[in-house]
Structure 1
């Protein structure tokens, strides 16, 4: 069978280098930043780490070599992501969102857009460039493909043909990176917008590139309980004008959203695995040394030993599922939507319970902030909620693919490419407008 889980020499070095960077560079800064009361101060505190990450190529390793990127495979990117997220999952989210903002240009953008923005991101070795992925809205976007124009995406982009511009009105809630280091905007924000006020989500959505310094955009930082080392904001658009050449995916914004979150799914899944791994690492060491007042370490107790064995198995299962999803994305040009969604939802839900089980092993001491468990528990709460959310869009996309006549249980096993189409959308949407 052509299945090999052995890492190459290059992958082992990538993993070792990423682990060293995470422990020596990321950890001390992230620990201080996480404790800062102001969320924007916490994000800005990570700038020196971002600069070193850029110098090492982590900020552009997933971008194509053709435009100056590292050309890394998805599997390679996951190896690095696991090491970074095991120390702090917030900071790698900044890298992930750069990808969410730029990768759609490969499929939906013009060559000029690709050369300008992907090339600029890849050329940044100083750690200045940021890109924002701007989709979510305050009312929620789980029904972004809703058949009614009154539901789903409500950031409207009206075409001013006389001036060759689109004019944006509305609000976005939760976009990451979008405010930039100084709250004057990321270098570019890819915004999913409604370009037709009369049609539903399968026909009316597009995307526009809003460049830093564009007048009419306001940013307000969201104060989060976790992932404090990345930035999330509310963006308000009041008569924001962008050139018509900044438009992409006209009428196909729905496909852009679905395909993009398939790309990010195993990355988010591996981030959850990494946090669980960190909790397991601490709980295992604790169990081997802590006696609980007994005559020997608690790992000698059957209940603890059995629970640790289950925890370890779940982490291994999650990791390999994410590797499989990443492998299929590489092999199928991104068209691995069922396994992608599975990897994110399975790991996001399961790893949350793994962290809690590790806390049970540590006991009441897990609540002591001098130990890492309290932070890991906070961080684990994020994974079922972000990146489309496990209760909604990620599972809906998997559902839509599975409902297609071309899908069979062998599709995932065999790694077959199954192109995502509009016919796979709309499953689970509450179509009645009241």
Structure 2
């Protein structure tokens, strides 16, 4: 039978190793870092954990073996990420964003660029290498593929006719990892920029590689409600220059954005499942001992028992949807746009209801910051908003694919390939007359 939810012995060892790391290394550092008022200090406090993760191979496990990576499947990566995120979802976001930055190099880079950047990331066993995926802007970028040149991505990368360099001017808001450990920049920032100021988003966007130390780039840390163990910044470009060879996916930046956020979708989805699981594990333990002033633990009461059953079912359903999406991406690289988006949206939304239901079980003590529920509640706010947003790119991408005549209700049940094309873009966007 093709459908099999059993983990292999190797996957069980990976799960155990990731859980041990999360409990013994990540938890104490994350709990301390989360309380620090300075967001950059919180990020820096995780650097020793990142070094340990690099030494253990977690930071490079998703990179291809041919470049020195672990060669893990998407399903394998999800197994490890769930264990880390159940303890703290902010820190694994550093790993996720490294992947978001390096995947475009893997897909569109030259052999030299792949060896240089992917090889360098894979060889880092000391926890020094960081890469940033730089897309979001202060004015919003959900409509990055809009036909109006003044909508969507507005970071300009214009050609200097004399040198052939691309000159960058503008601002990015929210990129993770981009400031680097010292706010002088990540080793590599992969930036989506407008390379044609006269065209719409389906032909005007490209990817620009910005190395650490490039003059004309500044970074300002954003102070966040949650995910405090990773770094987000406002990144400002004032005449920053990159060479002509550092422009990738020229004119195809829109398709790259779709593909990249498809790659990350089940990872973000399983991270949401993990937060829900963390809250559930605590609420279950609480219900087995807390009496609420009664004679027996509250799990003996039907209302609590029924709610715990529903919570557990939602978590199981979310996990298997993410595994299905990851399995599909493993079998059909560069596809799965709708299935990936569904997994992220479904799990991000269900996690919020799970966390709140767990708080209802714990009761008013859930508000006490000495207990973990308050942090789960803060972390839960992140998932519907980040990684292409549940109300923005994720649903719109899935919508566009499902509107295509090639899509059918059995496409994902049967595991059939279905490539995402430009004809599937632009759903939900206002169009000019006749457009």
TM superposition score normalised by structure 1: 0.99
Secondary structure of 1:412's aligned partner: coil
Aligned to 2:297: 297
Post-superposition Cα deviations, 1:161-213, rounded to whole Å, max 9, x if no partner, equal 32121000000000000000000000000000000010000000000000000
Partner SS, residue 237 of structure 2: strand
Distance 1:246 1:124 in 2: 22
* Cross-structure match for 1:88: 88
Q: Which residue of 2 aligns with 1:127?
A: 127
How far has the Cα of 1:414 moved from its partner? 1.0
User: Is 1:225 the equivalent of 2:232?
Assistant: no
Instruction: Kindly indicate whether the alpha-carbon contact (under 8 Å) linking 1:338 and 1:412 is maintained by their aligned counterparts in 2.
Output: no
Q: Aligned to 1:413, what secondary structure does the other structure show?
A: coil
The CA distance in 2 between the partners of 1:3 and 1:196, in whole Å, is 47
Deviations for 1:255-303, whole angstroms, at most 9, x for unmatched residues? 0100000000000000000000000000001111100111101011110
* 1:378-421 deviation line (CA, Å, top 9, x unaligned): 00010000000001100000001101111001111111111111
Spell out, residue by residue over 1:119-169, the C-alpha distance to the aligned partner (whole angstroms, 9 max, x if none): 110011111000000000000000000001010000000011321210000
Structure 1 residues 160-175: aligned runs within 5 Å: 160-175=160-175
Aligned to 1:375: 375
1:78 and 2:78 matched: yes
Matched residue, 1:111: 111
Residue 281 in structure 1 maps to residue 304 in structure 2: no
Q: Offset at 1:375? A: 0.2
| Aligned partners of 1:40 and 1:221 also within 8 Å | yes
In structure 2, what is the equivalent of residue 17 of structure 1? 17
Distance 1:126 1:430 in 2: 48
Q: Please report the RMSD computed on the Cα atoms of aligned residues, expressed in angstroms.
A: 0.9
Check whether the contact 1:328–1:334 (CA below 8 A) recurs between aligned residues: no
Residues 1:266 and 2:257 aligned together: no
Unaligned residue ranges in structure 2 (runs of 5+): none
> Residue 57 of structure 2 corresponds to which residue in structure 1?
57
1:104 offset after TM fit, Å? 1.2
- Structure 1 gaps of 5+ residues are none
Q: Which runs of structure 2 are paired with 1:34-433 in the superposition (5 Å)?
A: 34-431=34-431
Aligned twin of 1:5 = 5
What is the distance in 2 between the residues matched to 1:214 and 1:140? Answer: 25
Distance 1:305 1:334 in 2: 42
| Cα distance between partner residues in 1 of 2:270 and 2:39 | 25
Contact 1:74 1:326 in 2 (8 A): yes
Distance of aligned partners of 1:161 and 1:116 in 2 relative to their CA distance in 1, 3 Å threshold: farther
Q: Is the contact made by 1:156 and 1:170 (CA closer than 8 Å) also made in structure 2?
A: yes
Cα distance in 2, alignment partners of residues 432 and 315 from structure 1: 43
TM-score normalised by L of structure 2: 0.99
Instruction: Please give the secondary structure, in 1, of the residue aligned with 2:275.
Output: helix
Q: C-alpha distance in 1, partners of 2:110/2:257?
A: 17
Residue aligned with 1:346, SS: helix
- Greater shift in the superposed pair: 262-271 or 157-166: 157-166
Deviates further, 325-334 or 92-101: 325-334
Q: Distance in 2 between matches of 1:428 and 1:72?
A: 36
Secondary structure in 2 matching 1:371: coil
- 1-side partners of 2:240 and 2:180: how far apart? 17
Q: CA deviation at 1:430?
A: 2.8
- Partner of 1:223: helix, strand, or coil? coil
Instruction: Give distance in 2, aligned partners of 1:432 and 1:354.
Output: 42
C-alpha distance in 2 between matches for 1:194 and 1:256: 13
Secondary structure of 1:410's aligned partner = coil
* More divergent stretch after superposition (412-421 vs 236-245): 412-421
**More off after superposition, 347-356 vs 158-167:** 158-167
Q: For the Cα contact (< 8 Å) 1:132–1:189, is it kept in 2?
A: yes
Q: 1:334 Cα deviation (Å)?
A: 3.0
Secondary structure of the residue that 2:150 maps to in structure 1? coil
- Cα deviation, residue 431, structure 1: 3.5
**2-side partners of 1:100 and 1:87: how far apart?**
22
List structure 1 runs of 4+ shifted beyond 3 angstroms.
none
**Greater Cα shift, 331-340 or 129-138:** 331-340
Conservation of the 8 A alpha-carbon contact between 1:265 and 1:343: yes
